[in-house]
Chain A
């Protein structure tokens, strides 16, 4: 069933939360991003000796008052044993987003109309790793009863619903690095179709562990040439890029039906006007020629928004700092045609690294803040583009520009693509 823009309910964003390599809290992270700061450093979670990649974007530790993370300020040590780090991250971002939205359902009907859809690419990898070691040591009968609920991806949505009493649709998305955008897009659809009035949606990831880094090293996807200069490692579109830098964290938004938000006087960041999806049907890890899947996802998003490419002022690229960057660029150029000349497109992964299943969620948030502040966040380290383009890729420093409509791209292993379009209200 296809719904045109005219016969479906409008969906707006009324709350946001981020925890990631640039720290804790949306305003803190956004101001550091705009200032051109990087969240990439040498890995501290474990000793990466013996692996080719030594850099990642880890959440900085410290007090919340300084925009840093102290897990026990958020989650009791009792509950930490029941939640892998990716669940903790998702809970923290969801807590910030729900508080920011001011939405507190007061009736059973309102609780049943409020749902949760927080995805992840990988889930509780470190928990699975540690528990496997225990089993390998012959201690299978000592596996914690919290092992399974700590590792399952949909338990983020479960915990958030339990914490707040949100009894509406409870769902989770798993589409690798597209999980965050898919979660927000699918949740927006649930509201547009009238199946809920409010959805808490986003993505979370915590795979900066030895198994996670080793696994992505084996796919040859990670940067390995900048171990001594970590802040230079994530360099989308630059000719010296040599792979992505893994980040950890979570991004969560509160989506709300427009009239519902207006009636309670909620602050509105932006409207979700378009969402498009596609599959490559090509290769498990590499994008198809000319990034045709990206092209079709963006085209589908434009169609659902009922706008043309020339209406878009800013694109937050998937741009992971791999060879695929130029394919996405090519697809965007093809889609935008002449209007590419007035377009700004940046990759905020240059500052945050690639948060896998959380990437699409934090980047959707950045796209909405770009609209709010009329600022295009920069692409760090873009010293020498490997491919020239008429598109302004906002190298090194943020730009003040008129931004009313923004598109955010996310693509995942398996050949899954998603594009989200947001507009000023």
Chain B
């Protein structure tokens, strides 16, 4: 697993208070990890802080799973 993926997972565990084993790439923040809409706003802000990236609202809306987040951040970091 990439460094980015590791860090994303850690942030999700910390912010949503879920077990690490549940944070699989396919896991949906809302459907599988118990997040509500405000949790996802906070989560996106935490990603922005941790990775020093800007995630505009329309992009944030498309981030539904752990993998979505990792892919988006990896793409930004590669650019």
Contacts and interface: CB of A to CB of B under 8 A. Distances in A.
Contact of B45 (A78, A79, A82, A142): A142
A81 B41 CA distance: 13
A145 B17 contact: no
Contacts of B38: 82, 145-146, 149
Interface string A62-94: 000000000000001111011000000000000
B42 A142 contact: no
With a 10 A CB-CB cut-off, give which of A79, A81, A145 has the most chain B CB atoms. A145
A76 B45 contact: no
A138 B38 CA distance: 22
B17 A78 contact: yes
Interface string B2-29: 0000000000000111000000000000
Interface residues of A, number: 11
A76 B16 CA distance: 10
Q: What secondary structure prevails in chain A residues at the interface with B?
A: loop
A342 interface: no
Nearest to B17: A78
A142 B49 contact: yes
A87 to B, nearest CB: 15
B41 A78 contact: no
Interface string A133-149: 00000000010111001
A180 B16 CA distance: 33
Interface in B52-74: none
Contacts of A149: 38
Interface string A286-316: 0000000000000000000000000000000
B45 A144 contact: yes
Interface of A: 76-79, 81-82, 142, 144-146, 149
A-B interface, 4 closest residue pairs, ranked by CB to CB distance from nearest: A78-B17, A145-B41, A145-B38, A76-B17
Interface of B: 15-17, 38, 41-42, 45, 49
